Structure 1
Amino acid sequence: MNVVFVHPSYPNQFTGIANALSRKRGWECAFLVDRAFTGQIRRDKPPVAYYGYGEEASPLSGTYYTRCIEEGARRGKAIVEALAHIHASTGIDAVVGHASFGATLFVREILAIPVVSYVELPGYHPAFCRDEFPGRYPQSLMDVALRSLIHSSVIHSDLCVVPSAYARDLFPPELRSKVRVRMEGFALPPPAGDREALRRELGITGDGPVIGFAGRTLEAVRGFDVFVRAAGRIRAVRPDAHFLVVGDEASIYGNEASYLGDSSFKRHALRQEGMADEEFIFRPFVPYDQFVRYLQAMDVILFPLFEGAANWGLFEAMAAGVPVIASRRCFIPEVIEDGCDGILLDAADADGFAAASLALLEDSTRAEAMRRAGRQKIARSFSMERAASGYAAIIREAVRRHGSGARNPCRGRQRVIWPAA
C-alpha cells in the first residue's frame, strides 16, 4: 500500500504515524509538504520520502471571511498538481491529508485516488467557548466559511478521521457516517532519573514543588487565566511553589484579542490576579525533546481547557508520568478516568484546581499512582503502534469504499485534461 500523507507543515501530526506505518510489511509511506521546509527535512533525514509543493503567488480578495476558502482552494490546487506527478512516477494507493488546510479538496475528483481527510476541529469553535469574550458576527462568518471548506473536503473524500468522538459529534449528522475516530500515537519517554538535577539544568532553582502549564500559546481557550488564579491560591498555602509555564505569548484560536486591545491575554490574566512575571517561570514553546524534559520536571500539570478536539500536551504529560488535573470538557473525559489517571474539574474552577494540586502535593502515594496510571493509559490506548494500526484500518476501508464507488456519484464522470507544461 503506497500512501502519501499531505500537510502544509513539517513536522506534523502524521509524522509518527507515517514512520510507524512504513515499518509494517506491505506499506510504503511518503509525505507531501510545503517546499519551504526543504532545508529542515534535509537536515533531519527522516526515514520516509518527502516531496514538496509550491503555491501560486496569486493575490487573495482581501475579504476576511472568505480567506480560509481562498487559501484552501489555492493550496489544494498546488497539492493535487504535485500529487499528479507523484502518482505518475510511483503510483499512489491512498492519500491522507489535513482537510482544514484544503489539502484533500480536489484529490479524489481530479485524480480518482482514495482519500482520507483528517480534521481536528470542524470549525472555529474556540471563538465561541468563553462567555467573557463572545464571538461576534465576523467570527460567525469565518466559522461558517471554514466549516464549508471542511465539509466540502469530507464530501469529496472516501472517509474522514478525527482525534476524538467529541470532534466527530461536531459534524452535521449527514456526514458522521464517513467519520472515524483515531487519536495519533505517543511514545513513552524514559524516566527522568534525577529530577532535582533536571530542574537545575532547566534553570529551576530552589526547593519546592513545580506546578506546570503547557500549550502552544497562552490564551483563553487553554484557560491560562484559570491557571494564574489557581497559582495565586496555591502560593498562599505553598510559598515555596514554582509555576512553570511553557508556551508563546499569543492568541491564535480564541476571540479575546478583539476585546483586549493592545494587551496580550497573558498580560490580561496576570493583571487580573495582581501577579507579576517574576512569580512564574516562563518558557517559549520549544521543540519536542526539550518540551518533554520540561514536563518531567513538573510535580503536577494543569489543563483547564475550554475547547478542543485534542491536546497533544495533555497526552505527552501523561506519557511523561506527570499527574494531570484537567477540565471535564470537550474530548478530555474520553481520555482521563477521573480519580484514576487524572483529576477532572469544571474548567473555570480555579479554587478546585488549586485544592486538587495542593492535595496531590501532600499525597505522594496518590501522585505516584496517578503517574503510573497515566503512562499505562498511553501505552495501552494511545501508543504509536496502536495509532498506526488504527490508521491502517481506516485507509484500507477508504480504499474498499473507493473501489465500490460508495458515496461517489461523480465516479467516471470526469476526465482531466492537464494544461501543457
Structure 2
Amino acid sequence: MAKPVIVFAGAVYPGQFGGLCDYLRAAGLAETYFLTTPGHQARNAHRGKHILGFRPDGPVTGEQRYYYTAKLERSAHIGRGLLSALQQFQNHKKIDVVVSHSLWGAPHFLYDEIDAAIVSYIEFPSFRAHGWDPAYPPDQSQRMVDRNTEMLNFHQALRSDLVICPSHHAKSLFPEPLQSNIEVQLEGFSFEDTKMPDPKEDPGPLTIGLSARDLSNAKGFDTYVRLVDKLVERGLKANFVALGGSEGSTYGYEQQWVQRKYDGAVASFRDHLLKVYPRAAEVIAFPGKLPYEAFVEKLSGIDIFLYPLRFGVANWGLVEILGRGGCVLAPDRGYPAELIQDDVNGRLLPDDDEAWIDEITALAQDPERRLRYGQAACARARLLYSLQAVAPRYLNLFRLAMDRRQARLRNGS
C-alpha cells in the first residue's frame, strides 16, 4: 500500500501531534507535513522542510471584536488561512488526510472545499460538559461563550470524517448520537531518556509533589494544598513541590472568582489558597512552569505524586509522570482509571481526605511498594503510549477516515 500523505494542522508546533507527525515521517510510515503559523514555522525550521506555514486571516491572540464570539472569530481566522494553504498544497500534491486541532487548527471551513479526509481532534466539547466547581461558577457571559464553543465542536463531530478524543471519558461527554463518529486514542510520547531510580542509592528526603500545566481547581491543586496542610499538621516529614504555572488560563473559572473576591489584590488562585492554608504555604516549593528538559528532571526527584484531579479528559501530564516511573495516587473516577490499574501501576482512591492521607502515610514508609508502582507505570506507559506503540493505531484511524470519506462520496453525501 502506498504511503498516505497526511497533513497535520495547528497554530502551535510541535503542540498537538507534532511528535506523531515527525515520527511517522522519520519511520517511513507516512509522508507527513505540519502546517503551523509563521512564527512557529520559523522557530522550528531546523526540524525539517516538512514544517510548513499558513497565515491566519486575522489575529489569533489578543482580544477579538465581540466577546461572545471571540473563540469562533479566532477559529475563523485560523480556518480561513488553513484553507488557503491547503488549496495551494493540493496544487502540487494530493492529500489523503488532514488532521486538525478542533480550535487551533479549526477545520470547519474545509468541509467540501478540499479533496481529503478530515480528522478533527477534540479534547472535550465544552466547559459545560467538562465540568466546573460550583464553588467557582461561571457567570452568564462565560456560559454564553461556552455554548458557542460547544456548537463549533458539535458541528465538527457531525461533519468530520472522523473525530479523535483522548479518552473514553472525553467521548462520553458528547451527545450519544455523535459518539459513533468518535474514536479514542491518546497521543504518543517519547520516553527514551527515562531513568528509573536505583533502589540501592540513598533516595534522600521524601518528596511529595503535584504536577500540572496549571495550578488550577480542575487539576485538584486546591485538594493538594489542603492535603499538604493536613499532613504537616499530623507531623509527616517530607518536602513538598507543585510544578506548574500559577497564572494564566485554566479549565475553570477560579481565577475570575479570585479577581472578584479580592478586587485584584491577590494575583492567583494559588495565592488565595496559600492565605487559606498557612501551614502548606510554609512548606510547598513552586518552581513554576519549567522548560521541558527541566520539568523532566524535576519529575525524577518526586517520590509520591498526588494527582487529585477534579475535572479532566486525559492529557500528556499524567502519562509523562507514569511513563517516567512516577508513583501516582489518583481519583477512582474519570479518566485516570483508564490509565491506572489500582495497586498495579498506582493507586485509585475515593474523594475522601482521610483515604488519601492514610495511603500517603503508608507509602511514605514503603519505598519498595513505591518502586513497584513506578516500574509498572513505566512499563505500561511505554507499552501503550510510546510513539512506537500509537503510530500503527493512528494510521489505522487515518485509513478509517479515508474509507469513510470514500463511502460518503459514493453515497453522494
1:94 paired residue number:
97
| Deviates most, 170-179 or 83-92 | 83-92
Q: Is the contact between residue 229 and residue 280 of structure 2 (CA under 8 Å) also seen in structure 1?
A: no
Secondary structure, counterpart of 1:213 in structure 2: strand
Q: Is the contact between residue 34 and residue 51 of structure 2 (CA under 8 Å) also seen in structure 1?
A: yes
Deviations 1:159-184 (A, max 9, x none): 00111011111111221111011111
1:233 paired residue number:
230
Deviations 1:71-128 (A, max 9, x none): 1112100111111111212331110010133521122311131111101111124874
1:52 paired residue number:
53
- Alpha-carbon distance in 2 for matches of 1:162, 1:123: 13
* 1:403 aligned onto 2:368: no
Q: Is the contact between residue 105 and residue 153 of structure 1 (CA under 8 Å) also seen in structure 2?
A: yes
Q: Is the contact between residue 198 and residue 297 of structure 1 (CA under 8 Å) also seen in structure 2?
A: no
Q: Is the contact between residue 95 and residue 115 of structure 2 (CA under 8 Å) also seen in structure 1?
A: no
1:212 paired residue number:
209
Deviations 1:234-263 (A, max 9, x none): 223455311111111124221112322223
1:258 paired residue number:
256
Give the C-alpha shift of residue 61 in structure 1. 6.2
Counterparts in 2 of 1:70 and 1:134: CA distance versus 1, 3 Å: same
One-letter code aligned to 1:186:
F
Q: Is the contact between residue 63 and residue 70 of structure 2 (CA under 8 Å) also seen in structure 1?
A: yes
**Counterpart mapping for 1:135-174 below 5 A:** 135-174=138-177
* 1:8 aligned onto 2:11: yes
2:335 paired residue number:
331
Q: Which runs of 5+ in 1 are unaligned?
A: 200-206, 411-421
Give the C-alpha shift of residue 193 in structure 1. 5.5
**Which of these residues, 320, 323, 331, is aligned with residue 319 of structure 1?**
323
Give the C-alpha shift of residue 370 in structure 1. 0.5
Deviations 1:14-73 (A, max 9, x none): 02211222234451111001112133203xx22561111122337986332211111111
**Which of these residues, 289, 294, 315, is aligned with residue 290 of structure 1?**
294
- Alpha-carbon distance in 1 for matches of 2:118, 2:360: 45
| Deviates most, 24-33 or 187-196 | 187-196
Secondary structure, counterpart of 2:120 in structure 1: strand
Q: Is the contact between residue 303 and residue 326 of structure 1 (CA under 8 Å) also seen in structure 2?
A: yes
- Alpha-carbon distance in 2 for matches of 1:406, 1:342: 47
Q: Is the contact between residue 210 and residue 244 of structure 1 (CA under 8 Å) also seen in structure 2?
A: yes
1:301 paired residue number:
305
Secondary structure, counterpart of 2:81 in structure 1: helix
- Alpha-carbon distance in 2 for matches of 1:184, 1:308: 15
Q: Which runs of 5+ in 2 are unaligned?
A: none
**Which of these residues, 344, 360, 375, is aligned with residue 363 of structure 2?**
360
- Alpha-carbon distance in 2 for matches of 1:70, 1:408: 33
- Alpha-carbon distance in 2 for matches of 1:346, 1:53: 47
Give the C-alpha shift of residue 155 in structure 1. 2.4
- Alpha-carbon distance in 2 for matches of 1:407, 1:162: 27
Counterparts in 2 of 1:317 and 1:198: CA distance versus 1, 3 Å: farther
One-letter code aligned to 1:280:
I
**Which of these residues, 270, 274, 282, is aligned with residue 274 of structure 2?**
270
One-letter code aligned to 2:107:
T
| Deviates most, 273-282 or 107-116 | 273-282
Deviations 1:201-251 (A, max 9, x none): xxxxxx521111111111111111110111122223455311111111124
Counterparts in 2 of 1:337 and 1:408: CA distance versus 1, 3 Å: farther
* 1:123 aligned onto 2:109: no
**Which of these residues, 23, 39, 54, is aligned with residue 36 of structure 1?**
39
How high is the TM-score relative to the length of structure 2?
0.90
- Alpha-carbon distance in 2 for matches of 1:9, 1:102: 9
Give RMSD over aligned pairs: 2.5
Secondary structure, counterpart of 1:222 in structure 2: coil
Deviations 1:108-159 (A, max 9, x none): 3111311111011111248742121123322321221101111212323100
Secondary structure, counterpart of 1:176 in structure 2: helix
- Alpha-carbon distance in 1 for matches of 2:367, 2:210: 20
One-letter code aligned to 1:29:
T
Counterparts in 2 of 1:48 and 1:300: CA distance versus 1, 3 Å: farther
One-letter code aligned to 1:242:
N
Q: Is the contact between residue 19 and residue 48 of structure 1 (CA under 8 Å) also seen in structure 2?
A: no
